[in-house]
Structure 1
Amino acid sequence: MDFWALVKKRRSVRKFDPKRPVSEEQTDKILEAAIWAPSAGNMQCWRFFVVRNPEVKDQLAIRAGHQPFLNDAPVLIVVCADLAQIAHSYGSRGSETFAIQDTAAAIENILLAVTDLGLAACWIGAFDEGRVSNILKLEEGIRPLAMLPIGYAADDPRPPRRRPLSEVVKRID
């Protein structure tokens, strides 16, 4: 797909068809796109947890404000950062800023790969980090930063309104 068409086709989808599975091959392609994102010092501090277990997805959905579409998606990827790894090279700037930037770049690659494969996803950032860490049994220093439910869209969402460049860009010549 043409890059600009891909960017404009991506949507935040909250209604998934629970009867259409996402294959391991598709999931691996999505994760392959993620690991090609840029990262500070090429540290690649991201960690990805692929959740297919319905009971675990249910627990995670509860910790994300009881959002039921998390359960309907066949795959849920929890994107985490290894704070100790990045702090080792960059100190607090690494763990407080670069880790978030790096995982955000990986997440956008995931969202574009998902769209390119004819799938849909939603970037979820509102959840109880501590409880999600406990559910996934994350090691100390691994911080969950996003949850990405992935599947086939149950309907065709309309394009969202975008603010014009004149409202969001300040040119300094």
Structure 2
Amino acid sequence: MDTFDAIYGRRSIKHYHDDHEMTEEEITKLMEAALQSPTSFNIQHWRFVVVRDKEVRQQLKAAAYNQAQVADASLLIVLTADMHAFKKEPERYWKNAPPEIGQRLVSMLVGLYDNQPELQRDEAMRSMGIAAQTIMLAAKSMGYDTGALVGYDPGKVAEVINLPDDHVLGMMIVVGKAKQGAWGKPGQLMLEDVIVNDKFPAKS
């Protein structure tokens, strides 16, 4: 599927065929595409919890205020990020770069994020957002529908998936075959409503 077709055709789907299963090859292809998402300093700190177990899916459905798609979709992905990935063997992120470049970037990375919890969280959220869009567009190009969810109890979700203390939750993404299509787009803004040319107007 053409990239622009995937962008314009992707919709947030709520209702899925609960008897459809994705193959392991399809899941691998989708998640390998997610790995192509960019991250600052190439940290790659997203951690994708790919949930297949039906009992776990039911527990997460309950934590998501019983939204049916959490259990019914073919696949559930809980996006999380390791906020301390910057100091966990950071040499891995530039293992194929010239040694002097890799060493310099490791030093910069640790110096930038160490003792900066707000920046660590901001960076994690940015990275998960980019990865989420990659997953949804890749899934659409594979013939699948998706939906992103942030309506859940974070404490309960963290408990169900055993979220490590140094990780943060992002969104859930469901992937599958739509049982019911989405409504027409309810109110898309025009370009002139969202584009700021060069800079915002001066404050009065």
Task: Give TM class, smaller chain.
Answer: over 0.9
**Could you list the runs of 5+ residues in structure 2 that have no partner in the other structure?**
88-108, 200-204
**Could you list the runs of 5+ residues in structure 1 that have no partner in the other structure?**
none
Give the structure 2 partner of residue 22 of structure 1: 22
Map 1:25-104; keep pairs closer than 5 Å: 25-86=25-86, 89=110, 90=113, 91-104=116-129
Give the structure 2 partner of residue 137 of structure 1: 162
TM-score (norm 1): 0.93
**Cα shift at 1:172:** 2.1
| Count of residues in correspondence between the two structures | 173
1:145 & 1:24 partners in 2: Cα distance? 24
Asked if 1:118 is matched to 2:134, the reply is: no
Are the aligned partners of 1:83 and 1:94 in contact in 2 as well (CA < 8 Å)? Answer: no
2:13 & 2:145 partners in 1: Cα distance? 6
Give the structure 1 partner of residue 189 of structure 2: 163
Max radius of gyration: which structure? Answer: 2
2:52 & 2:117 partners in 1: Cα distance? 34
**Cα shift at 1:92:** 2.5
Question: Aligned pair in 2 of structure 1 residues 164, 111: CA closer, same or farther (>3 Å)?
Answer: same
Deviation per CA, 1:31-52, whole angstroms, max 9, x where unpaired? 1111100101100000011111
Taking every aligned residue pair, what percent have the same amino acid on both sides? 28
Give the structure 1 partner of residue 93 of structure 2: none
1:70 & 1:24 partners in 2: Cα distance? 19
Query: How large is the RMSD of aligned CA atoms in angstroms?
Result: 1.7
Give the SS at the match of 1:145. Answer: strand
Give the structure 2 partner of residue 3 of structure 1: 3
- Residue 14 of structure 1 aligns to which amino acid in structure 2? K
- The partner residue of 1:149 within 151, 156, 174 is 174
**Cα shift at 1:140:** 1.9
2:119 & 2:37 partners in 1: Cα distance? 17
**Cα shift at 1:157:** 2.7
